[in-house]
Structure 1
Amino acid sequence: MIKSIAKLILALSISTLPVVTPAQQKPVRIGIAGLSHDHIHGLLGRKEKGDIVIVGIAEPDSGLVERLAKRYGFDKKIVYSSIDEMLRSTKPEAVMAYNDIFGHLEVVEKCAPRGIHVMVEKPLAVSVAHADKMAKLAKKNNIQILTNYETTWYGSNTEAYKVVNEEEQIGEILKIEFHTGHQGPVEIG
C-alpha cells in the first residue's frame, strides 16, 4: 500500500506520466494543503484521469479559492480554512502541499501522526532543522515524503520511467546521477 501511494504521489507530481495505478484500483483520496504554488494548476487540471479524487483543500485565502474554483470547477464545500479541519473532515490517503515553504513542516507535523503520506514542492524545507524534523516524523510514523522537482516532468525522465518500470528493459538500478541546468528565468520564459 505504501509503495503504491508513493508511486501515485510521484505520478501526480509528474502530470505528464501515464497513470501508474491499475484501472481496477479505487482512486487515491488526495488532500491539498495550500493553493499558492503555481504547480497547483497541474493537479487541479488532471481530474479527468480518474486516478485521484480531491477530497479536501486547506486554504485560508478566500479570494484565491474563488479564482481557482471558478477556473477549475471544484466545489467550494471541500475547502477548509485549516489543515487540521481538512484532515479531520476528509481523511485523505495523501496530502499534496502547495503552500509556502515554511509551512511544509506544519503539513508533515499534521499528516505524519495520522499516517498520511505527503508531497511538498521544492525546496523540501527552509532549514536543515526543519528537514530533520520532517525526516524523523516520516520515519516514526512510517510515511513517505516526496519533494517535487520540475525536472521530474522532463520527457527524458518520463521515457526512463517507462523503460525501467513498464518495459523492464534493464536490471536493478544501483545509482542514478542527473546533471542539468539552464540560463535562468529570461531563457525559460
Structure 2
Amino acid sequence: MLLLIVAAASIQLHAESKPLRVVIVGLVHGHVQGFLRDLPKSKDATLVAIVEPDKALAEKYEKQYSLDHSLFHTDLDETIVATHPDAVLVYTTILDHRRVIEVAARHGVSSMVEKPLSTTMEDALAIRAASRKYKVHVLVNYETTWYASNAEALRLAEDNKLGDVRKVVVHDGHEGPAEIGVGPEWLPWLTDPMRNGAGALFDFGCYGADLTTVLMHGQAPISVTAVSQTDKPQIYPHVEDDATIILHYPKLQSVLMPSWNWSFARKDMELYGTGGMAITVGPSNLRTRFHGEKLEQTSEAPALPANVASSLGLLAAVLRGELKDTGDLSALDTNMVVMQILDAARTSAATGRTVMLKPLPQ
C-alpha cells in the first residue's frame, strides 16, 4: 500500500511539472515577440498553436521565428477543441481581450492577457463574470511584475520599514511608440482610443495603478484626478501622449506619470513614508534612506523566486495550484481596481473634474 501511495504521488508530481500547453491568440501586440524569443528556453510552457486571422502577419512571424506552419490557425474555438490547451496567451488589441477570454472560458481554459485588462469597466465586469461562471483564471501580465526592485520596495513597505507610506510617485513610459519603432501591426490600434482605451494614460498609467493597488492591499482610492494632453498632435492626433493621475486615499496620495514624452524608457517607483524612502532603479536595484540616516544607500534587490519571476512561471504555478491568484500584481481582483482607476482617470481628464469612486458591484 505504501508503495502504491508513493507511486501515485510520483505520477501526480510528474504530471503537475509537465509544461503547460499554451495557445497564443493574436500577433498584433508587439510583446508577443519577447514570448516567442524566450519560449524555447522555458520549462514552464510549450506552444501548441497560434491563432491569427491575418494570414500575412502569421506568415511574417512564421518566417521570423522559424515556426512550424502547422501551428497556425484562424479560429479560436476550433483551435481549443483540437489542441486542448491549459491556457491562452492573449496578444490581441486590448479591445479584443473580453472576446478571447469569454471564448476560452466557455471551454474551461484560463487566460493571461497583456496589460491592461480591458478598455472599459463594462468589459472588465464581463471578464470577471466569465471567470467566476466557468471557474477559470484570468491573469494580467505587466513587465514590472517581474522586477525584483518593485517586489523589494513593496516588501519594505509591508514590513513597516518605511513607516506609514504617505506619497507614491510612479514614472512609466518612453519616447513614444512611433518614435521607438513600434511595428505596423501594433501602432494603429495602440493609438486608437477605442481599441486601446486611451493613449499613454492607459498604456502606461496601468503600471502605477497596479503597483499602488497592491501596496494598498486592494483598496480603491477615494477619488481620481487626471490631466492629459497631446504634445505631438502630428504623430498622435487621436489620443493623449502625456498624463498625470492623482489617486487620493485616506492617508496617502499616489501620483502616476504615464507618458510617451520621456527622453528615455523608464519604469520606476518612489515610496515615501514617515520612516524612510525606497526608490526603484531599473529591474534590480533600489535607493533607500531611512529616518536618521544622512545619506541614501544603493542596493541590489534579492532575486525573485522562480515561480514569480516570469509570466509563464507564475501562470504555471497558479494553474498547478501552487499559488493563489489573489491580491498580487497579476490577479484579476487587483486589476478590477486598476480598471476603476483607469476608467475614472479617462473621465477626469475629459471633463476636468475629480471623479469619486464607488464600490464595484459584486
Q: TM-score range by the shorter chain?
A: 0.7 to 0.9
Q: For 1:25-64, what aligned pairs fall within 5 Å after superposition?
A: 25-46=17-38, 47-64=40-57
Correspondence for 2:215 among 177, 183, 189? 177
How far apart are residue 153 of structure 1 and its match?
3.4
Q: Residues 182, 132 of structure 1: CA spacing in aligned structure 2 closer, same or farther, 3 A cutoff?
A: closer
The amino acid that maps onto 1:26 is K
Aligned pair partner of 1:187 in 246, 263, 282: 263
Gaps of 5+ in 2: 1-12, 160-212, 217-253, 266-362
Larger strand share, 1 or 2: 2
For residue 68 of structure 1, report the CA deviation from its aligned partner.
Answer: 1.3
Specify the alignment match of 2:103 in structure 1.
110
Aligned residue for 2:92, secondary structure, equals coil
Higher-helix-fraction structure: 1
% identical aligned pairs:
34
| Paired letter, 1:125 | S
What does residue range 161-176 of structure 1 map to in structure 2 within 5 Å?
Answer: 176=214
**Contact between 1:79 and 1:86, CA under 8 Å: does it hold in 2?**
no
Alignment RMSD, CA only?
A: 2.8
Aligned pair partner of 1:73 in 66, 70, 81: 66
Instruction: Please name the residue that 1:8 is paired with.
Output: none
CA distance in 2, matches of 1:107, 1:188: 33
One-letter amino acid matched to 2:37: G
Aligned pairs for 1:135-154 (under 5 A) are 135-154=128-147
Distance across 1 between alignment mates of 2:129 and 2:34: 30
Deviating above 3 A after TM superposition, structure 1's stretches of 4 or more consecutive aligned residues are 157-161, 178-186
The Cα offsets for residues 111-163 of structure 1, whole Å up to 9 and x where unpaired, read as 112111101112211211111111001011111111112322334147689x9
CA deviation profile, 1:29-60 (whole Å, cap 9, x unmatched): 00111011111011111122232110011101
When residues 52 and 138 of structure 1 are mapped into structure 2, their CA distance, relative to the original with a 3 A threshold, is same
Q: Looking at CA atoms only, which structure, 1 or 2, has the larger radius of gyration?
A: 2
How many residues matched? 158
- TM-score (norm: length of structure 1): 0.72
Q: Residues of 1 paired with 2:257 and 2:142: CA distance?
A: 13
> What is the one-letter code of the residue matched to 2:113?
V
Of stretches 145-154 and 117-126 in structure 1, the one that deviates more from structure 2 is: 145-154
Distance 2:261 2:29 in 1: 17
- Give yes or no for the alignment of 1:126 onto 2:164: no
CA–CA distance in 1 between the matches of 2:43 and 2:63?
Answer: 21
Query: TM-score when scaled to structure 2?
Result: 0.40
CA distance in 2, matches of 1:86, 1:72: 21
How far is the alpha carbon of 1:176 from its aligned partner?
3.7
